Amino acid sequence: MSTKIETAMLMAAGLGKRMRPLTATRPKPLVRVAGQALIDHALDRIEAAGIRRTIVNVHYLADAVEAHLEARAKRTGAEYIVSDERDKLLETGGGLVKALPLIGDKPFLCANSDNIWIDGPVDSILSLAERWDGAEMDALLLLVPLARATGHGGLGDFHMDARGRLSRRKQGRVAPFVYTGVQILSPALIQDPPAEAFSTNIFWNRAIAEGRAYGLSHSGLWFDVGTPQSIPLVEAGIAGG
């Protein structure tokens, strides 16, 4: 049975160091790829799935991101709520903790603003919502096979068993799936932070240990937009996709 996801959290507070010099004067979410800002690629997909309320965390050059969201809201009619991290960058886990009062108590979509994904035969966000089962999972990650992870330079992130339960890649080994930056999370997982600033990996590790972290394989295209050098490759992939 499909779960109605009403709220998204878009991670847009990073410093974008690997994207320099493009991020010397603009935040990474506003770097343009294939004719539009990275943040718009993500918001287009979120809103195509029927989610009209998105919390966006901001830190580096936050005024520019806010102005972009205000202009977009006039065009789309969607609701964008800023989670302000100007005072201190909280990393992904800390950003979720800070935004939790805005997110509410229902399962929500969480997405990074620096990956681009294009759906295959089905909408990936709707597929995640269809697969979500709060009785057995606290995290459901959209994964892409390592062989199709365009621009990814690592050895993969996760293994996935026949039921979809996740385990970590072992050190020095290769794992078959890469995290796309898109997931559904239960607010119940966003508890007991170990510090003010920390990675979402802490929450994932807890869910994995309890057998409550699951994955879903992405059937479309996915691009890691990490450096200026990756942009032409991504644009070529999108054009040929």
pLDDT at res. 112: 94
Under a CB-based contact definition with an 8 Å cutoff, are residues 180 and 223 in contact?
A: no
- pLDDT tens-digit readout, 46-78: 999 999 999 999 999 999 999 999 999 999 999
pTM of the predicted protein model? 0.94
Please state the φ and ψ torsions of residue 208, each to the nearest 5 degrees: -65, -45
Element of type H or E holding 37? strand 36-37
pLDDT at res. 2: 64
The pLDDT confidence band at residue 238, using thresholds 50, 70 and 90, is confident
To which residue do tokens 């994964």 refer?
A: 143
pLDDT at res. 226: 81
- pLDDT tens-digit readout, 13-36: 988 888 898 888 899 999 999 999
> Residue 1 above 60 pLDDT?
no
Ramachandran quadrant class, 181 (left: phi over 0; alpha: psi -120 to 50; beta: rest) = left
Element of type H or E holding 73? helix 62-76
CATH of domain 7-240: 3.90.550.10
Three-state DSSP state, 124: helix
Distances (CA, A) of 198 to 50, 91, 119, 140, 202: 30, 5, 30, 20, 8
**Range name among 1-10, 84-93, 104-113, 147-156 with the lowest pLDDT average:** 147-156
- Contacts of 90 by beta carbon, 8 Å cutoff, 6+ apart: 13, 57, 97, 98, 196, 197
pLDDT at res. 15: 84
- pLDDT tens-digit readout, 177-187: 999 999 999 99
**Range name among 4-8, 21-25, 137-141, 188-192 with the lowest pLDDT average:** 21-25
**Range name among 83-87, 88-92, 148-152, 216-220 with the lowest pLDDT average:** 148-152
The CA distance from 29 to 124, in Å, is: 21
How is the chain split into domains, by residue range?
7-240
- pLDDT tens-digit readout, 104-160: 999 999 999 988 999 988 999 999 999 999 999 999 999 999 988 887 778 888 999
